[in-house]
Structure 1
Amino acid sequence: MNSFRYQLDDSSRKFECPACNRKRLVRFIDQETRDYLEPIFGRCDREQNCGYFHSPYQVDSFKREQTSYQKLPEVQHPSKYIPKELFEKSLGSYDQNNFIRFMRRHFDSETISKINDTYKIGTSLKITGGCIFYQIDIKGKVRRGKIMVYNPETGNRGAINSVHSQLNIEKRYYPKWRFFGEHLLLDNNKPVGIVESEKTAIISSIYFPEFVWLATGTKSTLKPEYSQALKGRSVTLFPDIGAYQDWSAKLESFSAFCDISISNLLESKSGDFEKNEGLDLADYLITRNVGEFQ
């Protein structure tokens, strides 16, 4: 079966973008040698604010190589889940967690305790200030852990890493992607709200507790193959500003197994400034008092 020899890296590793100079570039990998191509080839995941994309298939020499590449049958590797003892050990030390320090500027201790318990937020023992957002599936398996360092005052996101990377586990052993918060679907019949970032899901759960809030982690991981836990559920998508059209195009592929709709709340309330900044639901909510929504 013919396939693309050069593909975007599906790990969590990011490089400096040639256009915006942020460490947000996903580089192309040669599927035959498993080596990265030159740094100019990649896609910036700041899709709204940068949009850099340079494919090797825009270069004639790469096009010629593509015709001779034959993809070998994919080898299935056993998934390596995050060890229970490591997961449990990380559930604390919140004074050293920059995300929780930011949240404490806006919410009381009872609310903070509740979100930590609900979403099982971890603290990195290796990366200073690091917050761990675990992907726990509906069976309770801890599949992945995204490590993010936030500015404790502004809540702006900085460096991104992963627990598997810190454990030196090769990406071929990474379990398949799942929603952040998927474990909350078990024995819970509330309607489901889906956003892109883990931070937004957590903040939205404070303002709208009548929903179960999940996060895709990235805009591109809103896919049916990662979403079967939504079967039979009532789901509303809340895309970031600028992502409405992309997520709207995916509704049909989800309608076969869940009752799905999309909210244009942010698009309808955003001006030029908000659109340029690519704001999300959390940015809109956190400037308002929780009591306004209860």
Structure 2
Amino acid sequence: MSKHRYILEPYKAGINSRYTCPNCQQIKKFSLYIDTVTGKHVHPTVGRCDRESNCGNHYTPKQYFQENNIPFDTLQFNQYTPRPIATKAKPISFIPDEDFKASLTDHEKNHFVKFLISLFGFKIASDLIRDYFIGTSKHWDGATVFWQIDIKGKVRTGKIIQYEIIDSVDSIIGEDCKRNKTNFPPVYWVHSALKIADFKQCFFGEHLLIDKTKPVAIVESEKTAVIASIYRPQFIWLAAGSKEGLSAEKCSVLKGRTVVLFPDIDGFEKWSSKANELSHIAKFNVFDLLELKATEAERMQQLDIADYLIKLNLEDFTERKSEYPNPPQTVQAIFKSAKFEHPTSIEYFSEHEHPKPECWEQEIEELENYFKSIELPTQPVILNSCKKISNCSSFIETNIATVKANNGKSTFLPYLNRLQELKQILTINLKQHECK
């Protein structure tokens, strides 16, 4: 008998004992843990990716039991009760700043950004790049980097995906942006590209949770979170990354929040079960309209909420029209009609043209004094094409606290920019009022 009850499944010639890694999606690279008493796998996600792949995914039985609230002493054992083995946690590695910043350029080559422009126009697409720090990768032509930045502003890792814009008469939704599945693996990780091991994922968009005034919406894919944030800006939109992406550890940042889960059509049952498991962390609700209304054809395509939203008229969801209310039908026409402009926050990453401030104390003090010196509006304020401030006082308090706590950190510069945008809008409104 093995010294340990749970071991990695031994390799057996002629028998499939290596599986697709749920983290890096490489096939025949993932070894699952087995229970030496029952001979069964612990769970399809509990295992270790091949060390040669540089993926770094190693999810142990102990972690699985702890995250799913399964005490060791309540498990039914045929021979003996396993004892947890004390292991020293490996340090988590983060992406170097220079690699993160290097990706925040060349958006005119980014296939996903081109799709966003075709949907929403330049201004809204630029706002989305700024808010989610959407990057561009040279790993594949026109590939996108979806950075996972945690609530502390640390860049945990980045998921690299190459999209293709598809316009097919066979598609339920017409033109769409789909992963290029001919790539192997179809999803690549920045940690693998940089040959850095031992990373731990967080939610895509987790850095936005610094805003505590909104409920949270969680979807599977990063693309869906980005698109849905335009149609339903009253939520903070996050992406779990996969159907298996709702662990107790990852969801710990949601403690005390109101959360709505938007599973893909084929993920309703799994995420409903997860909502019950995680109910001690936050108030979870599961959006069930797709489950109730989806047709058989839509189920076969495994559509998600974004697939339905992009069929709708954006103006029905926003009070202010986008920069291009009737965008050209093709990306080529867009780039002929106007030059692509990078959003303001990304320009700050060019140290030669815009030196990065090391301290924002003067800017923060000026903003605080300004907002204290005026009577704040009680009506909602439109900050930009996809940002509406319903409560100015709360917005200012939250953002001031954020920039004070993260003074000089480039990841949190958008919060300072928003306060400056609000100051500019309020100043203009006051001058117009005085002229009347």
TM-score per shorter chain, which class? 0.7 to 0.9
Match of 1:79 in 2: 92
Match of 1:152 in 2: 165
The 5-angstrom pairing of residues 243-282 of structure 1 reads 243-282=267-306
Deviation at 1:13, TM superposition (A): 3.0
2:251 and 2:281 in contact (8 A); partners too = no
Q: Which residue identity lines up with residue 272 of structure 1 in the other structure?
A: E
- After TM superposition, the score normalised by the length of structure 1 is 0.78
> Residue 188 of structure 1: SS of its match in structure 2?
coil
Residue from 147, 151, 157 that aligns with 1:134:
147
Match of 1:211 in 2: 235
Distance 1:75 1:26, change over 3 A: farther
- After TM superposition, the score normalised by the length of structure 2 is 0.54
> Residue 221 of structure 1: SS of its match in structure 2?
coil
Match of 2:172 in 1: none
1: CA distance between counterparts of 2:33 and 2:273?
Answer: 29
Question: Highest Rg: 1 or 2?
Answer: 2
> Residue 245 of structure 1: SS of its match in structure 2?
helix
Cα RMSD after superposing both structures? 2.6
Match of 1:28 in 2: 30
Q: Deviations over 1:158-212 (max 9, x none)?
A: 2211100100123xx21x2211001000033201111000000000001000000
Residue from 86, 107, 125 that aligns with 1:112:
125
The answer to whether 1:2 aligns with 2:5 is: yes
Deviation at 1:99, TM superposition (A): 0.8
Gaps of 5+ in 1: 16-24, 37-69
Identical counterparts, % of pairs: 41
Deviation at 1:10, TM superposition (A): 5.1
Distance 1:35 1:233, change over 3 A: closer
Q: Deviations over 1:270-290 (max 9, x none)?
A: 100001111111111111111
Deviation at 1:72, TM superposition (A): 7.2
1:5 and 1:71 in contact (8 A); partners too = no
The answer to whether 1:230 aligns with 2:254 is: yes
Gaps of 5+ in 2: 10-17, 35-47, 51-82, 167-175, 181-185, 319-436
Q: Deviations over 1:187-242 (max 9, x none)?
A: 33201111000000000001000000000001011111111110111100011001
Distance 1:106 1:30, change over 3 A: closer
Distance 1:244 1:129, change over 3 A: same
Deviation at 1:31, TM superposition (A): 7.1
1: CA distance between counterparts of 2:283 and 2:210?
Answer: 18
The answer to whether 1:125 aligns with 2:128 is: no
Runs (4+) of structure 1 exceeding 6 A deviation are none
